[in-house]
Structure 1
Amino acid sequence: MTTPYPKYHLAEYPHQFRLRYPNKPMLRYHDKVSGRWVKLSGEQVADRCLAAAKGFAWLQLQPGEKVSIYSPNTVEGIAAELGLFMMRGVSVPLYATSTPEQVQFVIEDAQVATMFVGGQFQYNNAYEVQQRSEVLRQLIIIDPEVVLAPGDTTSMYYDEFIRRGDAVAYENKANVTASQALASDLAVIIYTSGTSGRSKGVLLHHSNFIEQMYAHQLKYPFMSPRDTSMCFLPLNHILEKAWCYLCLSMGCCVAVLSDPKKILEALPEVRPTMMSNVPRFWEKVYAGVQQKIDQSPSPIRSIMRHAIRIGERYFFDYVNEGKRPPLWLTALFKLYDHTLFMKVKQAIGIQRGKFFPTAGAALSVEIYRFMRSIGVPICLGYGLSESTATVSSCPLVGFDPTSVGTIMPTLQVRIDPETSEILIKGPSVMQGYYNNEEANAEAFTEDGYFRTGDAGRLEGDVLYFTERIKDLFKTANGKYIAPQMLEGMLTLDPIVEQVAIIGDGYKFVSALIYPNWELLRREAEARGVDMTQSDEALAVDHEVHRLMTTHIEQALSTVAQYEKVKRFVLLTEPFSLERGELTNTLKIRRKVINEHFAEAIASLYAE
């Protein structure tokens, strides 16, 4: 029986680029010299992947040997990883922001001898690790502007790595090895950033990727070679990695952005039709749009509010329900869609958008409904590194915005009746963690279901996410609190940049809040607060606290009394990735925050 979509091994991708899309742009990158976006055809991308595979053949890489990529997103990084797969090697990607200590842990745990490094920051850290590690032997530097450390005689630049492999014998070796690649080969070890405990290496085989790509092709067949996707999340994040390979498998062009901080500059230039993303991006877009509306003259503000109500009614009352909207509603929506909504989308650079999968954390229903109401097709999903990304995802229409979508076609999902934990099983789920038998013993049920650590419920094939089980805590009064839910409600207010809910074992709920100081100062000045004070002084100012209390009460107006924030501390510095208070996916590490802010927390509960 033939399948509607062929199941290609990742080692076959370069050959398929050459065969199916020789002249079509498959990758784009921003050239620093010209300042322009450069396109690479399928033939050119295939050549780059083969060149990398030949370089690995020169290095005498053996099947199953592990190679790390420690770099911002680059075309060279993608080509190197696909070339590595052609040689049946194993990719061990690292966040570009990883510290030397994090790098050393991964290198020694996975026994990585060869590492690709991006720029000066990554090279300096990797070289430091190499000096004290007996494992790491070879650094290959992607950025030609990197300055080598005095005495470094072993590192080489990427161009030299490619030149060394430029021989017929190495090309034959690469092509033969690629044809021998098996679905059972290990593809990637992704080290989870984790909100607590030691980082764990998730073992993902090629079969996991093959089946996940196939499941997405079945669920989202509208993806086509006419599409362009913006790749700006880190490529070692499973969401971006799996999404990038899905796009390439369906002939979509992938625009690779090396500096994620420049995403708002890049979007209007690339104008992608698709982009995988995390909720934080859409939260900032939402806050920006709301601020623009609030600052508009009264007539414009009224028109915008009316337009959003029309969009919400049009989409959620009719289109999403599979009903035909009345002609007057359709006409009014199209008017707004081609004027006000189009201006909003053009300002961001997403006016051509047709599919924006979003996952990695909870997204508030309010933001979700707003985006769909103005015609931004974000689709929420849920997944983990351990499931090769997607477990469930929403269709473009016919979804419940309070859910995280329908289960992927190749997965089995059930809910533990005692703990409400989401349990998953299927071909995209990992076989286990690397070198961690203790974690493996805890990770699976007796009948082979993976324990996600997340609580949820299942209605038919629609999944609802509740909370990270480990994040749930109980107050001293015995009441269970879901901190993520409260944090999500609070960050809907533009005045709250970051927040950590506190209350585990305490009599009431409190919060550490890093506000939008520019907005806070503006509102405080309107209330007559002395603006000559420093942020530190304002953070303890009585009137400022009254102002913030108003915002907190409004944000949490619908929760139970025991869930409301009774006290809070205003922070003058945000939670930091460098200090370990945030994971690489920008989730807060509660244990670290509790330690770093122990004094502030104690003050909240002082009698």
Structure 2
Amino acid sequence: MSNSCLSHLIHHQAKKYGERIALKYRDYETESWIPVTWNQFSERVWKVSEALIALGVEVQENIGIFSQNMPECLYTDFGAFACRVVTIPLYATSSESQVHYILEDASIRYLFVGEQYQYDVAFRVQNLCKTLHRIIIFDPKVKRAPNDNNSLYYTDFLKLGEEKNYKNEVESRTAASTDTDLANILYTSGTTGESKGVMLHHSCYGAAFEAHNTRLTRLGEDDVIMNFLPFTHIFERAWSYYCLYRGCQLCINLRPQDIQKTIKEVRPTAMCSVPRFWEKVYAGVQEKINATTGLKKSLMLDALRVGKEHNIDYLMNGKTPPAWLHMKYKFYEKTIYSLLKKTIGIENGNFFPTAGAAIPVAVQEFVRAVGINMIAGYGLTETTATVSCEWLDDFRIGSVGRLMPGLELKIGENNEILLRGETVTKGYYKKEALTRQVITEDGWFHTGDAGYVKDGYLYLTDRIKDLFKTSNGKYIAPQAIETKLVVDRYIDQISIIADQRKFVSALIVPEYGQVEKYAKDHHIAYTDRKDLLQKPEIIELFKMRIDTLQQEFAHYEQIKRFTLLPEPFSMEKGELTNTLKIKRSVLIKNYAAEIEKMYEE
């Protein structure tokens, strides 16, 4: 299969798999999953290609897809690739200013939108946009504005291709597609500054597929994949394309907040996710253990101890577990571990790629101890996702696995990770100066991440841009401290403050339910959440827990003061990116008064 395989991937698979199920999506009215066969998928992709040509979309023109995960996103993507059109995904939660910026920057004439929110934003932006010509709506339930007589529903858009015969035009474009064609421009949400459009060519995906073929050997036609992260995110996008390339079945989760329900309906064999998903599983299990007593509690604690000893102390280090340990492990596998997996909805689990942020060591140990194949990895939008990843028994706690085949890595100044290879972007869209800053003339891409390689495994230490320097001249890696503390069951979100300050402090969003339960159990009276978080007993509780967790850090790295916040960090207030990373500069502005108070003498 050529490197421009995205252009004919779905049609190629339809010839091979025909009436097998390729996709499923959830019908919220009947609460059932609707199957789509490979033949139906191919037919819809073909219709999209014809309709795009009927609209007059040119070779290598940019179109936008502003939607949460829906099958229509994939029909539109692959229909566009087949007629050499570039697709630009926008996060479903994007604000008007973000949408406006991307539409103008990429000169988008046609924007596909998902549900009511995306339509409303797009319609308001359309009046300000010089380029946007037409909005095409996926969800037929969307109510159009009374004065909107230009936008099209998706079903009407598909009919455009039937008005005359575009078959030859589609075929000739597909035949002319090459691996040097641009496939996507992915705008990174960025924790600093404005969005940058990362250009990914068909060759990037082709090289990524080849690299994954040699590593992910246990993925195949029988795998059922849950889509949970947004398709806009390179991790989910590249993974989903690859799963389709391997003939897997994709189950498309529309709303991220529904995942705990939908995962139990689908019971997938694989799902890529961010560490936050597993942190919540870990916190739930810790909570269960804390609420249990007697023999049941002893068994649960012993199961975790045995799992860690068997899978980490022995197997991870290439040693054979003793027979007694193996027998105990097998007993817990049939009882406690299997019950836990069934409760989450992953008892059919094959493996679970996890990346996008640092994975707390306690979480990684726990997941591996109970026999869940979490595949920790590292990647960037600029590298078409995976740079390195673990594989089944080939892992090290704290590492992000081995470098993918076809990539070169070297450690530069300040321990920065530099990469070179076919999966690396050719640059940022219309930003040549920035491209030259991050990609050297001989092709080395500066990741901005610091790390080191030991025994063939890559370890990340921190984000170079995120390193804080205290006013005493000491360097602090905030992510290391945050990752250590966020596993605590009383902490939901945390942001370290230290740059140009005398000492380290923290803004903490508590796990409100846990704090309220603690107050109830300890007969602490309060009027509202704000009042509760100012109670000396609650502050003392957090102080004690933070001091316990940060013992391993140097004195100057330890949190001296903290503020408990009555409201979580949110996208609405601009405090989180679309991938839920913290925008430190916004937090510093939004909580300026609280921060200053922590540094008062």
Q: Deviations over 1:511-535 (max 9, x none)?
A: 00110122112223444422x3211
The answer (yes or no) to whether the contact 1:22–1:42 under 8 Å persists in 2 is: yes
Which of 500, 516, 520 is the matching residue for 2:495? 500
SS of structure 2 residue aligned to 1:132: coil
For the pair 1:27 / 2:13, whether they are aligned, the reply is no
Aligned residue in 2 for 1:442: 437
1:216 corresponds, among 212, 216, 225, to 212
Match of 1:257 among 247, 253, 259: 253
2:584 matched to which residue of 1? 590
Residues 8, 549 of structure 1: alpha-carbon distance in 2 compared, 3 angstrom cutoff = same
Corresponding residue of 2:446? 451
Q: In the alignment, what sits opposite 2:544?
A: 550
- Deviation string 1:539-574 (CA, Å, 9 cap, x unpaired) is 222222111101111121221111111111110000
Residue aligning to 1:407: 403
Question: Which residue identity is paired with 1:547?
Answer: L
Taking only the aligned residue pairs, the percentage that are identical comes to 42
> Structure 2 matches for 1:571-590, cutoff 5 A?
571-590=565-584
Q: Is the 8 A contact 1:142 1:157 kept in 2?
A: yes
Asked if 1:275 corresponds to 2:271, the answer is yes
- Report the 3-state secondary structure (helix = DSSP H, G, I; strand = E; otherwise coil) of the residue aligned with 2:127: helix
Q: What does residue range 75-474 of structure 1 map to in structure 2 within 5 Å?
A: 75-166=71-162, 169-416=165-412, 418-474=413-469
Q: 1:527 to 1:391 in 2, by over 3 A?
A: same
Whichever residue aligns with residue 483 of structure 1, its letter is P
Contact (CA 8 Å) 1:414, 1:423: kept in 2 or not? yes
Contact 1:492–1:555 at 8 Å: present in 2 too?
no
Q: Distance in 2 between matches of 1:195 and 1:263?
A: 26
Q: Which amino acid aligns with 2:397?
A: P
User: Are 2:560 and 1:566 aligned?
Assistant: yes
Any idea what SS the aligned residue of 1:165 has?
A: helix
CA contact 1:61–1:87 (8 Å) conserved in 2: no
Task: Establish whether residue 12 from structure 1 lines up as the match of residue 5 from structure 2.
Answer: no
* Alignment-mate amino acid for residue 11 of structure 2: H
Equivalent residues of 1:321, 1:398 under 8 A apart: no
2:508 to 513, 521, 544: 513
Tell whether the 8 Å contact from 2:492 to 2:511 is kept in structure 1 after alignment.
yes
SS of the residue corresponding to residue 339 of structure 1 reads: helix
CA offsets per residue over residues 12-40 of structure 1, 9 Å max, x none? 11211211111221111112232211221
CA contact (8 A) 2:137 2:154 kept: yes
One-letter amino acid matched to 2:536: H
Q: Which runs of 5+ in 1 are unaligned?
A: none
Paired letter, 2:177? A
SS at match of 1:28: strand
State how far apart, in whole Å, the 2-side matches of 1:23 and 1:222 are. 23
Distance 1:168 1:25 in 2: 30
User: Is it true that 1:478 corresponds to 2:473 in the alignment?
Assistant: yes
Which whole-Å CA distance do the structure 1 matches of 2:14 and 2:319 have between them?
A: 44
Structure 2 counterpart SS, 1:360: coil
Q: One-letter code of the match for 2:579?
A: T
Q: Unpaired segments of 5 or more residues in structure 2?
A: none
Q: Deviations over 1:212-240 (max 9, x none)?
A: 01100111121110001101111010000
Q: What CA RMSD, in Å, does the superposition of the two structures yield over aligned residues?
A: 1.3
Task: List per-residue Cα deviations over 1:90-130 (Å, max 9, x = no partner).
Answer: 01100000011100000000110100000110000000111
The CA distance in 2 between the partners of 1:322 and 1:252, in whole Å, is 31
SS at match of 1:169: coil
Question: SS in structure 1 opposite 2:551?
Answer: coil
1:348-402 CA-to-partner distances (Å, cap 9, x unmatched) read 1011111100000000111101101101111110000000001111111122111
Q: CA deviation at 1:476?
A: 1.3
Q: Distance in 1 between matches of 2:545 and 2:428?
A: 44
The 3-state SS of whatever aligns with 1:438 is helix
The aligned counterpart of 1:533 is: 527
Q: Contact 1:393/1:406 (CA < 8 Å) preserved in 2?
A: yes
One-letter code of the match for 2:436? A
**TM-score normalized by the length of structure 1:** 0.97
CA distance in 2, matches of 1:518, 1:561: 31
Following superposition, the deviation at residue 460 of structure 1 comes to 5.0
Question: Offset at 1:275?
Answer: 0.5
State whether residues 200 and 434 of structure 1, in contact with CA within 8 Å, keep that contact through their aligned partners in structure 2: yes
What's the offset of the Cα at 1:435? 1.0
